[in-house]
Amino acid sequence: MSSYVSATAEDRAEMLATIGVSSIEDLFTDIPAGLRLESVVDGALGIGPGHSEQEVYEELRALAARNVSAEDELSFLGAGMYDHYVPALIDSIIERSEFLTPYTPYQPEISQGGLQAMFEYQTAISELTGLPVSNASVYEGPSAVGAAGYVAKVSNGRSRFVISRGVHPHSRETVRTLARGWGTEVVEAPLRAGATVLPELGDDVSAVIVQQPNFLGAVEDLTGLAAAARDAGALTICACDPLPLALLKSPGECGVDIAVGEGQTLGNRLDFGGPSFGFFAATDALLRRMPGRIAGETRDVDGKRGFVLTLQTREQHIRREKATSNICTSQALNALAGVIYLSWLGRRGIVELTELMLKRTAYARERLTSIDGVSLLHERPVVRELALRLDAPVARVIDRCLAAGVNPGYSLARDYPEHQDGLLVAITERRTRADIDRLADVLGAAVAAERSGVRVPA
């Protein structure tokens, strides 16, 4: 085996000339200057040459201490990632070396445990979504929505997506980015009183993309939306929050063709935004167009139950022009955490958990809207997240709450200019009635202070 030889200055100059830039710094011009670290030596990290390991450790520890986690404040922040309790059982299993360190199970004869974990995960997702087939997971929620759009595109060859404004902003952005490469137009369906209102659907619509519950927390009429799409010959793609599916009609029951979503709430911590996993389930008709891989169950020559990789549609395995996916792996470890979590809850446990969130969200809705200057953004049914309207500058109200040790939620103005006064509040089983009362006290005081013109303390 030859040793590694780094690129020379001449090599770098030749590569830069080939791609048409004069320096490596030119590759980063699209990154705002305020986000760039000009130097790691005597720069923003404050670590120069000649420091000992202990000094570097102390500096990095001090930097890490500036972070504020959901363990350090009372957090009602959601907007797609949620602070759920993760049982110790999950770490005790996923940290076992046979799950933590193995490579892709190309050889089924020595990968039965990993393949069975994928198969059991797929089974759980199919049961949750009410759809017959699931893949072994994809990278995360927004990429699952984008992949579903491509499945629709290659299935019917139509040229337009209609996507609800209630779909997560990151997912909408992902669909727009990918659709540009496919030559597909993306049309946004507006929200009225919190719910999606579809425009007239022509015969050029490939898919209607909605979310359940939507980004504003509202439960959509998924059956009606799917029926409208079906009447136009389009597929219905639904981005689902998996836990509310324990109480809501499943996407399959509602006539949805593809159900996708973010799996972080299933046994995965927030972890500064990742990693997590995306789930993907569909009808039998779309089985061979699904992205990623599917683990299947079979019998060996002795009639014993066994597992194999049944389908892999990525371009490494077949001719590129016939590939339906460039997804090279599943998020197997994170997906394993998901199926362990669902098994830990059990069929009754997931219903009880969601019922608890439903009751506490209803309590929060009543308690918070009793505050002078706080009202509902919409009156649709909600499960675990509610949108409020504040009669005060939302950003300043949030700052006041943070100073009191409470993160009151997500400012909708970041993604919805029409809701400059909107605050999205998430409730999980970790937020008790006492926590909600604390939020009401702090939020009420912050709104009152802003309305009366009291200055924020330095």
Residue in 116, 87, 84, 122 with CA at minimum distance from that of residue 99: 116
Highest mean pLDDT among 58-62, 104-108, 263-267: 263-267
Q: How far is CA 162 from the centre of its chain?
A: 20
Angstrom distance (rounded) from CA 218 to CA 231: 24
Residue in 406, 405, 409, 371 with CA at minimum distance from that of residue 391: 371
Q: Two tokens at 236?
A: 């219905």
pLDDT at res. 47: 66
User: Is pLDDT at 64 greater than 60 in this prediction?
Assistant: yes
- Tell me the pLDDT of the chain averaged across its residues: 91
User: Is pLDDT at 107 greater than 60 in this prediction?
Assistant: yes
Which residues, other chains included, contact 328 with Cβ-Cβ below 8 Å and sequence gap of 6+? 314, 316
pLDDT at res. 63: 87
Which helix (H) or strand (E) is 411 found in, with range?
strand 410-411
Per-residue pLDDT band for 36 (boundaries 50, 70, 90) equals confident
Compute the C-alpha angle 48/54/59, nearest 5°: 55
Angstrom distance (rounded) from CA 387 to CA 78: 11
Which helix (H) or strand (E) is 58 found in, with range?
helix 53-64
pLDDT at res. 41: 47
User: Is pLDDT at 89 greater than 60 in this prediction?
Assistant: yes
pLDDT at res. 315: 52
User: Is pLDDT at 316 greater than 60 in this prediction?
Assistant: no
Angstrom distance (rounded) from CA 163 to CA 211: 9
CB 307 within 8 A of CB 252: no
Angstrom distance (rounded) from CA 98 to CA 193: 50
Average confidence (pLDDT) over 131-138: 95
Pick from 4-18, 86-100, 379-393, 434-448: least confident: 4-18
pLDDT at res. 241: 95
Angstrom distance (rounded) from CA 184 to CA 326: 19
**Helices (H) then strands (E): counts for the chain:** 11, 17
User: Is pLDDT at 421 greater than 50 in this prediction?
Assistant: yes
For the stretch 216-239, pLDDT in tens is 999 999 999 999 999 999 999 999
Q: Which residue type is seen at 350?
A: I
User: Is pLDDT at 15 greater than 90 in this prediction?
Assistant: yes
Q: Which residue type is seen at 439?
A: L
Q: For residue 314, give the DSSP letter.
A: B
Residue 3 dihedral angles phi and psi, to the nearest 5°: -80, 160
Angstrom distance (rounded) from CA 207 to CA 346: 34
Rg of the Cα trace of the chain? 24
CB 196 within 8 A of CB 215: no
Q: Which residue ranges does the chain devote to CATH 3.90.1150.10? A: 74-85+347-447
What share of the chain has pLDDT > 90, as a percent? 74
Which runs of E-coded beta strand occur in 213-292? 235-240, 258-262, 278-282
Q: Two tokens at 146?
A: 């984008």
Residue 362, SS3 per DSSP: helix
Total residue count of the chain as it appears in this document: 458
Pick from 259-273, 317-331, 381-395: least confident: 317-331
CB 412 within 8 A of CB 385: no
Angstrom distance (rounded) from CA 427 to CA 207: 31
Give 28 or 243, the one with higher predicted confidence: 243
Topology of the domain comprising 88-341:
Aspartate Aminotransferase; domain 2 (3.40.640)
- Looking only at the bridges linking them, the beta strands covering 205-212 and 195-196 are unpaired
pLDDT at res. 318: 59
Average confidence (pLDDT) over 304-317: 76
pLDDT at res. 42: 47
Q: Which residue type is seen at 157?
A: G
pLDDT at res. 320: 65
pLDDT at res. 309: 86
Compute the C-alpha angle 190/160/202, nearest 5°: 80
For the stretch 237-285, pLDDT in tens is 999 999 999 999 999 999 999 999 999 999 999 987 789 999 999 999 9
User: Is pLDDT at 48 greater than 70 in this prediction?
Assistant: no
Pick from 56-60, 124-128, 149-153: least confident: 56-60
Residue in 398, 393, 382, 380 with CA at minimum distance from that of residue 452: 393
CB 273 within 8 A of CB 143: no
DSSP notation for 422-436: EEEEE--TTS-HHHH
Angstrom distance (rounded) from CA 305 to CA 327: 28
Per-residue pLDDT band for 110 (boundaries 50, 70, 90) equals confident
Angstrom distance (rounded) from CA 143 to CA 214: 17
Q: Which residue ranges does the chain devote to CATH 3.40.640.10? A: 88-341
**Domain at 74-85+347-447, CATH from 3.60.15.10, 3.40.50.300, 3.90.1150.10, 1.10.3720.10:** 3.90.1150.10
Angstrom distance (rounded) from CA 326 to CA 112: 25
